[in-house]
């Protein structure tokens, strides 16, 4: 009887040691998982109450990142995402207190690491201006069709070759015209319906090589 007790006791001790030996490995695995960190910035008119960041095709409800935090207009919140190695493409869903939702499909969160993810109100437009030419863009203008160009939005800032900048404007229409003036004197103009195949306030405005 005593011998059986000792065998059982030794077995429990060995199982306990196994658990102790495995735990540090699990902690190390968690520590060295890739992490993406960025600031969530609320430029809208309503509180942000939920932020879901999830791989395309999966359930968004299990990946809520604010965990009860509320991001008021003008405020930011730090967001950390532990992703798999090499996994960068995610869908991002933002829910505002007034019921408005914003969904960005196929976002590259690896490009956000260390930066800011900005959200705007439904009455705003955000132009994501990309310069794919070989010269800097020194002036940038937008207008509704038939109106004047107005003021240069860049001021003393240039958009360098192969650089992208985000320019928010207080407008909510769909049809716009854009003009870019390059450092070499070239002027490029384009017209675009920013609402076409786009449910976001953010729109790409791309200037390619001549």
175 in the same domain as 116: no
pTM: 0.57
Distance CA 99, CA 62 (A): 19
Identify the residue whose tokens are 């002036």: 139
142 in the same domain as 108: no
Distance CA 11, CA 139 (A): 76
Mean pLDDT of the chain, nearest integer: 83
Whether residue 17 is contained in a domain is answered as no
- Interstrand relation of 89-96 and 76-82 (parallel, antiparallel or unpaired): unpaired
Bigger pLDDT: 32 or 103?
103
Do the beta carbons of residue 144 and residue 155 sit within 8 Å?
A: no
Whether residue 178 is contained in a domain is answered as yes
- Interstrand relation of 101-108 and 202-207 (parallel, antiparallel or unpaired): unpaired
Full domain range(s) for residue 191: 125-207
Whether residue 6 is contained in a domain is answered as no
Under the banding of pLDDT at 50, 70 and 90, the label for residue 121 is confident
């Amino acid at each position: 009887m005593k011998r059986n007790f000792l065998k059982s006791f030794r077995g429990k001790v060995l199982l306990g040691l196994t658990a102790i030996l495995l735990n540090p490995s699990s902690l190390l695995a968690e520590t060295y998982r890739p992490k993406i960190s960025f600031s969530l910035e609320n430029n809208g008119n309503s509180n942000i109450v939920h932020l879901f960041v999830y791989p395309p095709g999966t359930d968004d409800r299990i990946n809520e990142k604010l965990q009860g935090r509320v991001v008021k207009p003008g405020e930011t919140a730090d967001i950390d995402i532990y992703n798999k190695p090499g996994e960068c493409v995610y869908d991002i869903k933002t829910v505002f207190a007034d019921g408005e939702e914003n969904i960005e499909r196929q976002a590259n969160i690896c490009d956000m690491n260390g930066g800011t993810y900005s959200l705007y109100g439904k009455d705003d437009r955000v132009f994501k201006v990309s310069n794919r030419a070989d010269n800097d863009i020194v002036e940038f203008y937008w207008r509704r069709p038939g109106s004047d160009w107005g003021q240069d939005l860049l001021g003393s800032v240039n958009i360098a070759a192969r650089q992208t900048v985000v320019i928010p404007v207080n407008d909510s229409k769909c049809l716009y015209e854009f003009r870019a003036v390059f450092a070499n004197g070239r002027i490029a103009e384009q017209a675009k319906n920013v609402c076409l195949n786009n449910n976001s306030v953010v729109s790409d405005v791309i200037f390619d090589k001549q």
